[in-house]
Amino acid sequence: MSRPLAVFDIDGTLVDSRASIHRACCDAARTLGLVEPSYDRVRQIVGLTLDKALHVLEPDLTLAELAEFVAAFQASFRTMYEAGHEEPLYPGVMDTLNRLKRDGWRLSIATGQNRRGVARNLARAGWSDLFLSSHCAGDGPGKPDPTMLLAAMSACGAEAGSTIMIGDTSHDMIMAANADVTGQGVGWGFHTPDEQRAAGAIHVAEDFPDLEAALDRFASRAAVV
């Protein structure tokens, strides 16, 4: 059996972007004269491609209005970044990623962000040396379509039985099931543990030590397959 592959989502899994995504949605809604959405509505759409996510959030918009909504969302993020904003990593992220790398795991990314967002994150200190590949919605169909996850396995030379998808949303877990790989949830992001388990998560970690223990269990099982 080949070395295990851990494919990580970014938003809500490695990076705490809850406040900034909600803020961008509210800014964009005001631009179009819409009611600002609650955080509970916004958290449900995170992980989908941006146009699909905003369509789910405001399904009655025309195509032209949806395009304006997307542009306003992106403009809000540009304003935040130009002002020096950077979403923080969750506590324990780097310790866990570095430990997995030392232990021989292959690491990849599958995210609903666009390629610009991925590049911004890969520019974080230490990240470029950790991940063998990165895959985003701009490369093809977004979550829960399995294309990104299948591309990660292909790029890293991994089989489904040795691959685990780590994410915080039901979209991640359904994508994992669609790719016939294990879905591992985390309890600190956008979707609740119950929502993730209902979508197929084998386990939802409470913190990064709990996640590491779950990944150790997966690696032990994968090694004997």
- State the pLDDT at residue 100: 97
Prediction pTM value: 0.90
- State the pLDDT at residue 224: 52
Helices vs strands, H then E, count in the chain: 10, 6
The helix or strand, by DSSP H or E, that contains position 13, with its residue range, turns out to be: none
Distance between CA atoms of residues 111 and 59, nearest Å = 23
Cβ(165)–Cβ(201) below 8 Å: no
**Residue type (1 letter), 116:** R
- State the pLDDT at residue 61: 95
Q: How many residues does the chain have?
A: 225
Indicate the SS3 state at residue 166: strand
Q: State which residues of the chain have pLDDT below 70.
A: 1, 223-225
190-211 residue pLDDT tens: 999 999 999 999 999 999 999 9
- Catalytic residue at 11? yes
Bridge partners of residue 184, in order along the sequence: 166, 203
The helix or strand, by DSSP H or E, that contains position 214, with its residue range, turns out to be: helix 208-224
Q: Which of 11, 16, 145, 210 is labelled catalytic?
A: 11
Report the sign of the C-alpha dihedral through residues 138, 141, 144, 150, in that order.
negative
Residue 144: asked if its preceding bond is cis (omega within 30°), the reply is yes
